[in-house]
Structure 1
Amino acid sequence: MSTSLTEDMETSSGPIIGAQYCLPNQVDLAFTRKVAGVKHGSLAITDTNGDILFWIKISSNWTIKKKLIDANSRQPLISMKEKSWSLHEEWQVFRGDSTKKKDLLFRVRRSKVFQMHTELEVFLAANSREFAKCDFKIKGKYSKRSTMIYKGDSSTVLAQMSKEHKVEKVELDKNAFGVRINPNTDMAFIVALFIIVQQLSEQETAIRNEAIGSVIGEVVAAAITS
């Protein structure tokens, strides 16, 4: 039975970064820091053959900016940066190498300031009302590679992370993971979302380790002086 256009739109994102990244079939990608022992930026994204589609380049002046590079053109598709003084740890994503308001594509932020489990909301640039409903939602645990991306506030899954990837012909690093994406969903957009998820998870880990180290230091200091 064929899928209607309405059903197809409901289970896909449509073009957000570019129509060329919306393929009519399901897409499996792998996220890895190394491909066959070679590092490509801080993170590379490959297809199931191990061919690199995108990689991440980090630049920093006053704030850290991550760029998603298209492997074919070698040009930045988008630039991602964390918004200053944001309670919800908001990330803003802009077209190309820009960080100007007119080039904003979408925003990603925590749904709540304090969270037991990661839940992020995604707002497209046109959805700028203060109390607007999100266009996409991200839930799950990055550490367990169980993160999913949903259409709006629904139960429709557009993309899902997994511990296993489908690359067999090329060696990836031991921490590489897979992402499966629905047909007609902008895979560059999905890649950007998982990069932000990874960044937030790494920040959480660093803060937690710092807190643990501080507690251990206080305990040791107390033991020495007692």
Structure 2
Amino acid sequence: MATGQASSNPVPAMRTHLPVEHPVVVIGPQYLAHYPVELAVSTKAWTLGENNFKVADINGTVIFHVKNKPLTLHDRRFMKDATGNTLVNLRQKIMSVHSKWEAFGGESKDEKDLLFTAKKSKLFQFKADLDVFLANNKGDVPDFKIKGGYAEHSCSVLLGDSNAMLAQVS
């Protein structure tokens, strides 16, 4: 079991890579892998507004589930660990110019449990480019940028406003 992993959560499969130099903890240290992890996303059937999917490692071990709450006033999604515990509550802000989302720890909606916010990089854009601000970031420079998305079948996570790639999804 990797250091910092909760005993009830599976440890993602490890490939031979250099360790991450400066890891950033967003949800909690028990979900931090000190090595690059290859993950696969698979969607389940879409029924009555539901858009649920699972995230697994290269061996097929489920690491996370993402479930949405259909037919509600706010678009809400919940990221759950392999045992079903809610880790993150993603909530779309209504009446936001840049399609802003807020992510809270657990099932909370309380400002003190805010983990990060994400919003479109530009008001009008053709690709899904997002700026991500960690809860303690009150500035204009995002902590991360996500370029690409579901429609492009791939995306990159960049550090701040730089071209330093932290993750790539394809």
**Aligned partners of 1:48, 1:82: CA distance in 2, in Å?**
30
Structure 2 residue identity aligned to 1:85: M
- Structure 1: stretches of 5+ with no match in the other structure: 35-40, 163-226
Q: CA deviation at 1:117?
A: 2.8
Structure 1 residue identity aligned to 2:76: K
Structure 1 residue identity aligned to 2:152: K
User: Given the superposition, is the C-alpha separation of residues 141 and 47 from structure 1 closer, same or farther in structure 2, using an over 3 Å criterion?
Assistant: closer
**Aligned partners of 2:164, 2:141: CA distance in 1, in Å?**
16
1:116 to 126, 151, 154: 126
Structure 2 residue identity aligned to 1:94: F
1:158 corresponds to 2:145: no
Q: CA deviation at 1:140?
A: 2.3
Q: CA deviation at 1:156?
A: 1.1
1:66 to 74, 77, 87: 77
User: Given the superposition, is the C-alpha separation of residues 96 and 141 from structure 1 closer, same or farther in structure 2, using an over 3 Å criterion?
Assistant: closer
Q: CA deviation at 1:125?
A: 0.8
Report SS of the residue matched to 2:112: helix
Report SS of the residue matched to 2:154: coil
User: Given the superposition, is the C-alpha separation of residues 65 and 118 from structure 1 closer, same or farther in structure 2, using an over 3 Å criterion?
Assistant: closer
**Aligned partners of 1:146, 1:58: CA distance in 2, in Å?**
21
Structure 2 residue identity aligned to 1:8: E
- Tell me the number of residue pairs that the alignment of Structure 1 and Structure 2 aligns: 146
Structure 2 residue identity aligned to 1:23: A
What's the counterpart of residue 92 of structure 1?
A: 102
Q: CA deviation at 1:55?
A: 0.5
What's the counterpart of residue 32 of structure 1?
A: 42
User: Which of 145-154 and 53-62 deviates more?
Assistant: 53-62
| Kept after mapping to 1: 8 A contact 2:74/2:93 | no
Question: Which one has more relative contact order, counting CA pairs under 8 Å at least 6 apart?
Answer: 1
1:102 corresponds to 2:112: yes
What's the counterpart of residue 14 of structure 2?
A: none
Report SS of the residue matched to 1:88: coil
What's the counterpart of residue 156 of structure 2?
A: 148
**Aligned partners of 1:148, 1:117: CA distance in 2, in Å?**
12
**Aligned partners of 2:147, 2:123: CA distance in 1, in Å?**
15
Q: CA deviation at 1:153?
A: 0.9
**Aligned partners of 1:20, 1:79: CA distance in 2, in Å?**
18
TM-score, L = length of structure 2: 0.78
Report SS of the residue matched to 1:134: coil
**Aligned partners of 1:80, 1:141: CA distance in 2, in Å?**
17
Residues 68-113 of structure 1 show CA distances to partners (whole Å, capped at 9, x for unaligned) of: 01113x2100100110100100010000001111111100001111
What's the counterpart of residue 48 of structure 1?
A: 58
Q: CA deviation at 1:59?
A: 2.1
Residues 167-211 of structure 1 show CA distances to partners (whole Å, capped at 9, x for unaligned) of: xxxxxxxxxxxxxxxxxxxxxxxxxxxxxxxxxxxxxxxxxxxxx
| Structural RMSD (CA) | 2.0
**Aligned partners of 2:107, 2:124: CA distance in 1, in Å?**
32
Percent of matched pairs sharing the same residue:
36
Larger Rg computed on CA atoms: 1
1:139 corresponds to 2:147: yes
Q: CA deviation at 1:147?
A: 1.0
